């Protein structure tokens, strides 16, 4: 084929990929390349937006494409690329792939880059065998055409999907089961589109509930009664845990793609409202907390925090609920703006905009619940937002591509209270001082940097009753690291970590066995880990005794398919991490 890469030509231009700094999908994520070769686990993940009809035009300045080729390219882009580069290719964690850039680079340049990847983290789609040479050629041409535009999604479309399965008047007025809800776990079964409710004491699966495509997170209402589950398809399922058998009581789709959901926690507003943020369209939706009836939609399109340029696709990442005011804090990823949404008067809604570094992703509260530690991952920064005063308190430079989840809070032997984040892009763990009153010299500074087992970390965790800090690295290229977890003694941090072979302890059949997301039980004396293999492989959940660091239990079941996040009801309800 005329467009294919000959061996001689490949050798001549492969070195160009080493120098490309403006197009790689992730700035620095050692291990992403290998992780993508081994299975379906991806940083950005596939995008459900690819399945909808879109408006698109073929650029006459671009290499020719048939309609069939364009559809193939669209499918591959939304399965493999959109999570990092964005629906409109404006860039976020991944760099922009707009036509002004791609046309200037040219087909040879792009084809080589897609085929071979880069040391900075762009997957080697061709040499890994993930894409054929024909598919690489299609993608080379596809990204030189204007991106297709998905449809908008407003209240009309949301109401068409809203289902009130059990009205509040027909629900129990008190808890009707004998479940220990405080020690219940909602476990994401990602590729199955389900969650498993698992009893923390018996380790038995109570039920497996259908939710939606690529379940992302579970959140608990302030009362502990309602469980909110959201998938990447923007479908939210509301589960009533008081029912004799916990079951869905309402559901809705708030967009075409989403990641985040949260509920009101301020005194007097407990359980009253829910909020969900969408990746597409770029917006967030306020809903009734006990029915999911959509009430108000707020768009995030606007100017970036640094260059003050208009961005058409600021996707909504993490959302947290303030304990100090009736407010939600909403991360607009691409613009670097945190929306502080006052829900006390929805008819006259007030939104305060907090300027932070760009590419906001995840984060959580420090130990007092006042300061939101917000990861701007592609900027290598943590923004500290004072939820009591409603302002930015500090910006802290950390390691490469922080990905803390909610982070980890503990008392450092020397520096007092700290909040910790691990990183996708390097093996460091940054400890940030969080006490501006009694430890003012340490506040909002990295007081210590630990060396972890390797890059590719997604989550770390501890507990107020524990002296252990657990750090995963599921995206590391070395299976010995991705299938294990590093644990630090908080009282002896300088001694480094111990690596525990969680994947081996699972006793499952050969597979990816990536160990991801430590989560504590209610009492803080055991830690649960997901051993995540591909959907066709055996997975498990491994429970470790926190004090002895010894294996305590393994949960294996044919229904435990691609387990990822695990959310203990009490800890999630009370922001304990």
**DSSP states along 329-358:** EEEETTTTEEEEEETT-GGG-EEEEEE--S
Q: ∠482-465-329 over CA atoms, to 5°? A: 75
For residues 570 and 461, what is the distance between their CA atoms, to the nearest angstrom? 15
Helix (H, G, I), strand (E, B) or coil at 218: strand
Cβ 482 vs Cβ 475: under 8 Å: yes
Per DSSP, 42 falls in state -
DSSP letters along 383-429, please? Answer: EEEETTTTEEEEEEE-SSSB--TT-EEEEETTTEEEEEE-BSSSSEE
**Candidates 41, 65, 84, 139; catalytic one:** 84
Asked about 145 being catalytic, the answer comes back as no
232 contacts: CB under 8 Å, gap ≥ 6: 45, 46, 47, 48, 212, 213, 214, 215, 216, 257, 258, 259, 279
Distance CA 100, CA 59 (A): 12
Task: Of 34, 42, 107, 111, give the one whose Cα is nearest residue 80.
Answer: 42
Concerning whether 423 is annotated as a catalytic residue, the answer is no
- The catalytic residue among 24, 41, 65, 81 is 81
The terminus-to-terminus CA distance of the chain in angstroms comes to: 55
Q: What CA–CA distance (Å, rounded) separates 182 from 459?
A: 22
Instruction: Let me know: does 162 contact 293? Beta carbons within 8 Å.
Output: yes
- Cα separation of 427 and 473, whole Å? 9
Per the annotation, the verdict on 361 as an active-site residue is yes
Rounded Cα–Cα distance for residues 114 and 171 (Å): 53
Active-site entry in 145, 311, 339, 361:
361
Within 8 A by CB and 6+ apart from 470, the residues are 460, 461, 462, 485, 486, 487, 518, 527
Q: Contact, 296 vs 285, CB < 8 A?
A: yes
The CA distance from 515 to 439, in Å, is: 35
Give strand pairing partners of 188.
195
DSSP 3-state of 169:
helix
Among the listed residues 41, 65, 122, 373, the single catalytic one is 122
- 122: annotated active-site residue: yes
**Separation of alpha carbons 30 and 34, rounded Å:** 9
Given 85, 311, 339, 463, which residue is catalytic? Answer: 85
Find the largest Cα–Cα distance for the chain: 74
For the question of residue 311 being annotated catalytic, the response is no
The one catalytic residue among 339, 403, 412, 463: 403
Q: Which residues are catalytic?
A: 81, 84-85, 122, 361, 403
């Amino acid at each position: 084929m005329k467009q294919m890469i000959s061996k001689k030509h490949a050798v001549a231009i492969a070195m160009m990929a080493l120098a490309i700094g403006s197009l790689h999908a992730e700035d620095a994520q050692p291990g992403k390349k290998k992780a993508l070769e081994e299975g379906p686990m991806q940083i950005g993940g596939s995008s459900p937006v690819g399945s909808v009809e879109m408006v698109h035009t073929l650029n006459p300045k671009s290499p020719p494409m048939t309609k069939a080729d364009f559809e193939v390219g669209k499918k591959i882009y939304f399965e493999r690329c959109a999570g990092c580069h964005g629906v409109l290719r404006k860039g976020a964690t991944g760099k922009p792939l707009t036509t002004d850039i791609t046309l200037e680079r040219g087909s040879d340049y792009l084809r080589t880059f897609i085929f071979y990847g880069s040391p900075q983290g762009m997957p080697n789609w061709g040499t890994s065998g993930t894409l054929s040479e024909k598919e690489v050629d299609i993608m080379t041409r596809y990204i030189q055409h204007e991106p297709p535009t998905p449809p908008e999604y407003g209240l009309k479309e949301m109401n068409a999907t809203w289902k009130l399965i059990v009205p509040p008047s027909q629900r129990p007025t008190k808890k009707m089961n004998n479940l220990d809800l405080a020690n219940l776990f909602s476990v994401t079964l990602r590729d199955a589109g389900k969650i498993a409710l698992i009893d923390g004491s018996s380790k038995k699966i109570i039920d497996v509930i259908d939710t939606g495509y690529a379940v992302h997170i579970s959140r608990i209402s302030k009362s502990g009664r309602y469980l909110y589950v959201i998938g990447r398809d923007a479908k939210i399922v509301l589960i009533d845990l008081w029912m004799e058998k916990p079951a869905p009581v309402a559901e809705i789709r708030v967009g075409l793609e989403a990641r985040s959901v949260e509920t009101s926690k301020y005194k007097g507003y407990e359980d009253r409202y829910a909020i969900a943020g969408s990746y597409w369209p770029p917006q967030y939706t306020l809903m009734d907390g006990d029915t999911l009836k959509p009430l108000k939609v707020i768009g995030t399109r606007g100017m970036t925090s640094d260059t003050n340029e208009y961005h058409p696709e600021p996707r909504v990442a993490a959302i947290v609920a303030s304990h100090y005011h009736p407010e939600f804090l909403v991360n607009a990823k691409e613009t670097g703006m945190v929306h502080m949404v006052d829900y006390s008067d929805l008819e006259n809604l007030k939104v305060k905009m907090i300027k932070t570094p760009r590419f906001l992703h995840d984060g959580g509260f420090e130990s007092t619940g006042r300061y939101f530690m917000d990861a701007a991952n592609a900027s290598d920064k943590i923004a500290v937002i004072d939820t009591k005063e409603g302002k930015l308190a500090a910006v802290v430079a950390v390691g490469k591509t922080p990905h803390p989840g909610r982070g980890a809070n503990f008392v450092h032997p020397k520096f007092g209270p700290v909040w910790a984040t691990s990183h996708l892009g390097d093996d460091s763990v940054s400890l940030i001082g969080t006490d501006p009153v009694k430890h003012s010299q340490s506040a909002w500074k990295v007081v210590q940097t630990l060396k972890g087992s390797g890059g590719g970390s997604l989550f770390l965790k501890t507990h107020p009753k524990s002296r252990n800090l657990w750090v995963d690295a599921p995206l590391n290229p070395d299976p010995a690291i991705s299938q294990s977890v590093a644990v630090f003694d908080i009282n002896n941090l300088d001694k480094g970590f111990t690596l525990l072979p969680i994947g081996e302890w699972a006793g499952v059949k050969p597979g990816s066995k990536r160990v991801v997301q430590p989560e504590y039980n209610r009492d803080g004396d055991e830690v649960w880990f997901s051993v995540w293999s591909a959907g066709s492989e055996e997975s498990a959940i491994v429970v470790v005794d926190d004090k002895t660091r010894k294996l305590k239990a393994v949960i294996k079941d044919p229904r435990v398919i691609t387990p990822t996040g695990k959310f203990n009801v009490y800890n999630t309800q009370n922001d304990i991490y």
